[in-house]
Structure formats: structure tokens, C-alpha cells
Amino acid sequence: MIQAVWQWLGNNSGQFAVLIAVIPPSFGALLYLFQKRQELKNKHFKTYHALVKQLVEGEKDSDLMLDRQLAVVFELRNFSEYYEPSLRILVGLKESWEKNSGRSRLIDEIEETISYIESRRRCRTIFREIVPYAAVASLIAVFLIA
């Protein structure tokens, strides 16, 4: 048994050496990518929460505050992983701010963002329902062709 392993290693020494040489850098690259992904997720998390804080608390200068809040509401569209809490926040703010007539531009932007997020959620739901069937169909096609 051991003799067969040594003979196989002797016959395939070049390929084995390449495999041994490739494993450490590959592991290092995967570790680097994982760490970068975590850093980006943390940065995205902090950015989202800072935007929500700016939206809810606003700034001291009321003229700039409305424009800043409009920008923040629009930017919430870029955080697809936070669509659920964004919808709840926007609906709640819309209900409480509708009484204030000076915020009609902000209410309009909130409504636009709510409809955008809801349409994106519907597309993602449909995509999640279709993809498994498409994957199965492509696997069946591969097996039928082969």
C-alpha cells in the first residue's frame, strides 16, 4: 500500500509539486477576499445607519436639512440588503410627516423610493422563484446533451 503511494508520487511528482505550490497562495487569497468582504459589509452597515440618523434627526439648518433629507431618502435605494427596515422607516416617517405641509417634496421622494424598493423586492422575489427551475432545466439539458 505505502509502496503504491510512493510509486504514484514518483510518477506524478511534477503535478504534485505544482499542487503543493498553489495551495498556500490560494488559501491566502481566499482569506484576503473574505477579510475585504467583511470590511465592505461593516462600512456599508455604518454608512446605512449614518444615513438613517441624518434622515430622522436632520441637521440644524432647516433650509439645507430638507435637501439633505431628500438626498438621503434617494440614497436608501442603494442598500438592497436593508430594504425591509428602510420600507418600515420610510412608511413611518411618511405617516408622521404628512401633517407638515412644508415637507411635500420630501413626502413625494419618500413615495418614489417606497415604490422603487417595492418593485425591486418583487423582481427579486420573482428571480428567486425562477432561478431554481432554470438551474434544474440547465442541468437536465447538460445531461441530455452529454
Residue with the three cell numbers 511528482:
13
Q: Is residue 61 helix, strand or coil?
A: coil
CA angle 81, 82, 84 (to 5 degrees): 115
Tell whether pTM > 0.75. no
Q: Is residue 142 helix, strand or coil?
A: helix
Average pLDDT estimate for 97-122: 86
Domain residue spans of the chain: 2-145
Yes or no: say if 94 and 76 are a contact pair by the CB < 8 Å rule. no
Higher-confidence position of 64 and 110: 110
SS3 content of the chain, % helix, strand, coil (to 5): 90, 0, 10
Q: What is the pLDDT of residues 16-30, one digit of tens each?
A: 788 888 888 888 998
